[in-house]
Homo-oligomer: A and B are copies of this chain.
């Protein structure tokens, strides 16, 4: 008698919760957090206002639900977008493309992330989970010998996500659409630095040819954009 749900199937409840989240996402994205009324969200979900509060403690918590689900889905999408057999560099490019494209496509929801919990409490767990996709790629790169042992992953993670996020804002601000060169350029920069570190840690002097190729690819990529 303990494991028996006394009422209402799990599926039914989850469907309702999901429809509330759908409605909330729509209204929050349209009107922003302050502009969104819980009564509007309830109406959009075909539910009474009080029902929302059965599923979420308050409006902030509802926002956290929307944002959390978004990042969870993003994690799944990212994992699907990455080919397991590709090289580390290719995987980073796949993640970079996917990330930038997602930031642009769902700019409003991403923006809501920063309203979720300013810095109080534990940060959004789902965001941390997403970031691990990057960490896994890098770790595998090190394990495979494609990246030097001492690669500063934490630093590069901030470079990767920080740059993409600011690039997305810049693109939005200038009303431009997805631009693949942003990702390519970013990777050129990161690769330059990891290659450099790799050279030393492998203990062999890189040949002039190797160096020139690295630098040429960097310079080639950088040229395609300009300001």
B residues near A173, Cβ cutoff 8 Å: 123
B residues near A108, Cβ cutoff 8 Å: 118-119
- A 64-76 to B, binary, CB cutoff 8 A, 1 in contact else 0: 0000000000000
**Structural contact, B162 and A166, CB atoms closer than 8 A:** yes
Q: How far is the CA of A218 from the CA of B195 in the complex (A)?
A: 10
- A 20-36 to B, binary, CB cutoff 8 A, 1 in contact else 0: 00000000000010100
B residues near A120, Cβ cutoff 8 Å: 32
A105 within 8 Å of B by Cβ? no
Q: A118-B32, A219-B200 are in contact. Are A182 and B155 (CB under 8 A)?
A: yes
**Structural contact, A192 and B185, CB atoms closer than 8 A:** no
B residues near A164, Cβ cutoff 8 Å: 162
Q: How far is the CA of A17 from the CA of B124 in the complex (A)?
A: 37
B residues near A193, Cβ cutoff 8 Å: 188-189, 192, 218-219, 222
B residues near A166, Cβ cutoff 8 Å: 157-159, 161-162, 165
Cβ distance A203 to chain B, nearest Cβ, rounded Å: 12
* Residue in chain B with minimal CB distance to A217: B196
Which one of B119, B150, B215 lies within 8 Å of A199 (CB-CB)?
B215
B residues near A153, Cβ cutoff 8 Å: 227
Cβ distance A172 to chain B, nearest Cβ, rounded Å: 7
**Structural contact, B197 and A219, CB atoms closer than 8 A:** yes
